Chains A and B, each alone.
Chain A
Amino acid sequence: MKKTIFAGFGGQGVLVMGYVFATAVMNDGKETTYLPAYGAEMRGGTANCTVAVSDEEIFSPVASSPDYVVVMNNPSMIKYESVVKPGGIIFINSSLVSKELSRDDITVFKVPSSAIAKKLKNERISNMIMLGAFVEKTKITSLNSIMDALAENMKGKSANLIKLNRKGLDKGAEYVSQGA
């Protein structure tokens, strides 16, 4: 059982990240739950969702100490860095998160996803870059599964846009596999 929290500003595609990830693992044949924050929790423009993945039945969809956390902005970093399970991993959008990690019992991967997205001329794929990095390091699913889930989710969108998302995924994966 692995639990991940994706967190950031509304509009950064945080919920899409979680949804696409959960769809991919479902298609892989695993059990999964996706729990978005809703209502008052969403006020102030923050968004987050929790995805659980397991080979067995999932009981609580809530993660009080997630294995992985993906943070896209400073407020999320402040809120979630402390809850990561010891030995877990935090993925940080280092373009927007200035705060340094204040613990040393977890692994950190810093990905300047907003900057990479800017280079690819579409800042909205910052989430896919992070997701690429996340999948590359956690190996919970494959980039191909993510891509299939994404294509399903983007049915009716232009082929170029889908290609761009694929590019984002690959760039993110590349970035972390080079050990940067």
Chain B
Amino acid sequence: MDKRIVSARAVPRALLSVLILQLRFIVDKKVLMRGSHVIGEAAARAGCRFYAGYPITPQNELTEYMAESMDRLGDGTFIQAESELAAVNMIIGASMSGARAMTSSSSPGISLKQEGISFLAAQELPAVIVNTMRGGPGLGNIAPSQGDYFQATRGGGHGDYRTIVLAPASGQELADLTRTAFEYADSYRTPVLILGDGMMGQMMEPVVFPDPVDIHKLAPKPWILDGARGKRPSRIIRSLLLNPSTEEERNWKLMRKYEMISREITRAESYMTSDAHMVVVAYGTAARIAKGAVKRVREMGLKVGLLRPVTLWPFPEHNLKELSRYVKDFLVFEMSMGQMVEDVKISIEGRSDVHFYGRPGGIISTPDEVAKIINTIYHRRHLEED
């Protein structure tokens, strides 16, 4: 057979591998890229082939990137939805039929998506949702904030469920955790939230991307709705379980899954904690500032470290428990008014003192500002002990 004649069926696959190759173009190279674009590129490489979203600042660049990349890939779907509600519900449909699907928004839009997130959890559908947090409540502003911690980690929507929450703190981590988010979503069949903020979304940092996955080689999903085709019984994906004992059973099933997730994926970064008398706890952008502050006070001889939760749910309770054996003071630093501090207190169970410092509304503290707070608390403790 003439090798130039490619069968009609082979064309899309051949085309696809060429496209993936094009995509691979920047793989080995470090690129300077805006955070929102990093998530988009990492999602495409993770095999995301369905994106629906609605415009909102400061994350429009992600939606725009997906519009471009889904077209470029040729086998992806991009829909600019009529609303956040429609977007998340399109994701439900795409996920039901097997696609790796993502939607994204910023705080007010994420509030609107909660209906869908609750359904995703109940129907055990994988999906990735990105929240580029901005100041609030209400419309608030478009500056970086962390005011959605409660919403993100307490479920957000109605009902007894949990959402995996990943909190990247650098461009590279945006790329890596976006890949991880899709993997967790599929393997646990649950929605995964990437919780960033305006700073994470707008800032550019050097990034090296993981290789693109071949979507045809992803683990098969033996539960999707793709038509029984006479080969198997028809399937139902539902959340309504009118019989209380059936609903209870489902809740127990979810709970066992959440316990497994807690055991398997909890993650935190420890920085200079091994000899620390005091530890700052912060995530995302706040953790970068806190790290700068810790470095500064270390230079002054203070024994201070940083614990940065990478998973906000499951929360690194165990790490804090361990630290509280020898750390006397914890300072929780947030770009919100005291939300994560509750989880820190729960983890520490009164063994150490827990202090709080927060700047809401889109204010970005300087490392010096946080260093001053550390200093005050640290020296007060030492005065007491001297």
Q: Is there a contact between chains A and B in the complex with CB atoms less than 8 Å apart?
A: yes
Q: List B contacts of A62 (CB < 8 A).
A: 364, 366
Complexed CA–CA distance, A27 and B29 (Å) = 10
Q: Which single member of B198, B199, B203, B289 contacts A59 (CB below 8 Å)?
A: B289
Complexed CA–CA distance, A40 and B198 (Å) = 13
Complexed CA–CA distance, A39 and B142 (Å) = 7
Q: List A contacts of B289 (CB < 8 A).
A: 59-60
Chain B positions 8-40 with a Cβ under 8 Å from a chain A Cβ? 30, 32
Residue B77 lies at the interface, judged by CB distance under 8 Å to chain A: no
Q: List B contacts of A19 (CB < 8 A).
A: 32, 204
- Tell whether, in the assembled complex, residue A32 and residue B205 are in contact, meaning their CB atoms are under 8 Å apart: yes
Beyond A35-B202, A39-B58, A40-B141, whether A59 also contacts B366 by CB under 8 A is no
Residue B212 lies at the interface, judged by CB distance under 8 Å to chain A: no
Q: Which of A22, A26, A32, A62 has the most CB of B within 10 A?
A: A62
CB distance from B254 to the nearest CB of A (A): 38
Interface string of B330-372 (1 = CB under 8 A from A): 0000000000000000000000000000000000101110000
Interface majority SS on B: helix, strand, loop or mixed?
A: mixed
Q: List A contacts of B366 (CB < 8 A).
A: 60, 62, 64
Residue A34 lies at the interface, judged by CB distance under 8 Å to chain B: yes
Chain B positions 305-324 with a Cβ under 8 Å from a chain A Cβ? none
Complexed CA–CA distance, A59 and B293 (Å) = 9
Q: Which single member of B204, B288, B292, B367 contacts A34 (CB below 8 Å)?
A: B204
Beyond A22-B32, A59-B367, A60-B289, whether A36 also contacts B206 by CB under 8 A is no
Q: List B contacts of A36 (CB < 8 A).
A: 202, 204
Residue B180 lies at the interface, judged by CB distance under 8 Å to chain A: no
Q: List A contacts of B291 (CB < 8 A).
A: 57, 59
Interface majority SS on A: helix, strand, loop or mixed?
A: mixed
Beyond A60-B289, A60-B364, whether A38 also contacts B32 by CB under 8 A is no
Interface string of B204-231 (1 = CB under 8 A from A): 1110000000000000000000000000
- Tell whether, in the assembled complex, residue A59 and residue B292 are in contact, meaning their CB atoms are under 8 Å apart: yes
- Tell whether, in the assembled complex, residue A40 and residue B32 are in contact, meaning their CB atoms are under 8 Å apart: no
Interface size class of B (residues with CB under 8 A): 20 to 34
Chain B positions 128-142 with a Cβ under 8 Å from a chain A Cβ? 141-142
Complexed CA–CA distance, A93 and B151 (Å) = 47
B200 — nearest CB in chain A belongs to which residue?
Answer: A61
Interface string of A64-108 (1 = CB under 8 A from B): 100000000000000000000000000000000000000000000
Q: List B contacts of A60 (CB < 8 A).
A: 288-289, 292, 364, 366-367
- Tell whether, in the assembled complex, residue B288 and residue A59 are in contact, meaning their CB atoms are under 8 Å apart: yes
Residue B295 lies at the interface, judged by CB distance under 8 Å to chain A: yes
Q: Which of B32, B198, B203 has the most CB of A within 10 A?
A: B32
Q: List A contacts of B288 (CB < 8 A).
A: 58-61
Interface size class of A (residues with CB under 8 A): 20 to 34
- Tell whether, in the assembled complex, residue A32 and residue B32 are in contact, meaning their CB atoms are under 8 Å apart: yes
Q: Which single member of B57, B205, B368 contacts A33 (CB below 8 Å)?
A: B205
- Tell whether, in the assembled complex, residue A61 and residue B206 are in contact, meaning their CB atoms are under 8 Å apart: no
A34 — nearest CB in chain B belongs to which residue?
Answer: B204
Number of residue pairs across A and B with beta carbons under 8 Å? Answer: 59
Complexed CA–CA distance, A26 and B204 (Å) = 11
Q: List B contacts of A126 (CB < 8 A).
A: none
Beyond A22-B204, A60-B292, whether A34 also contacts B142 by CB under 8 A is no
- Tell whether, in the assembled complex, residue B295 and residue A33 are in contact, meaning their CB atoms are under 8 Å apart: no
Q: List B contacts of A31 (CB < 8 A).
A: 206
CB distance from B300 to the nearest CB of A (A): 16
Residue A141 lies at the interface, judged by CB distance under 8 Å to chain B: no
Residue A23 lies at the interface, judged by CB distance under 8 Å to chain B: yes
Chain B positions 273-314 with a Cβ under 8 Å from a chain A Cβ? 288-289, 291-292, 295
B204 — nearest CB in chain A belongs to which residue?
Answer: A34
Complexed CA–CA distance, A28 and B293 (Å) = 27
Interface string of A111-143 (1 = CB under 8 A from B): 000000000000000000000000000000000
CB distance from A54 to the nearest CB of B (A): 11
Q: List B contacts of A38 (CB < 8 A).
A: 57-58, 142, 198, 202
Q: List A contacts of B368 (CB < 8 A).
A: 64
CB distance from A67 to the nearest CB of B (A): 15
CB distance from B240 to the nearest CB of A (A): 42
Q: List A contacts of B295 (CB < 8 A).
A: 59
Complexed CA–CA distance, A32 and B30 (Å) = 12
Q: Which of B203, B295, B367 has the most CB of A within 10 A?
A: B203
Q: Which 5 A-B pairs have the closest CB atoms?
A: A59-B292, A34-B204, A39-B142, A26-B206, A59-B288
Residues of B within 8 A of A (CB): 30, 32, 57-58, 141-143, 198-199, 202-206, 288-289, 291-292, 295, 364, 366-368
**Could you list some 21 contacts between A and B, CB below 8 A?**
A19-B204, A26-B32, A26-B206, A32-B32, A32-B205, A33-B203, A34-B203, A35-B199, A35-B202, A35-B203, A38-B58, A38-B198, A39-B57, A39-B142, A40-B141, A57-B291, A59-B295, A60-B289, A60-B292, A60-B366, A64-B366
Q: Knowing that A39-B142, A60-B288, A60-B364 touch, tell me 18 more A-B residue pairs with CB under 8 angstroms.
A: A23-B32, A26-B30, A26-B32, A26-B206, A32-B32, A32-B205, A32-B206, A34-B203, A35-B203, A36-B202, A38-B202, A40-B142, A59-B291, A60-B366, A61-B203, A62-B364, A64-B366, A64-B368
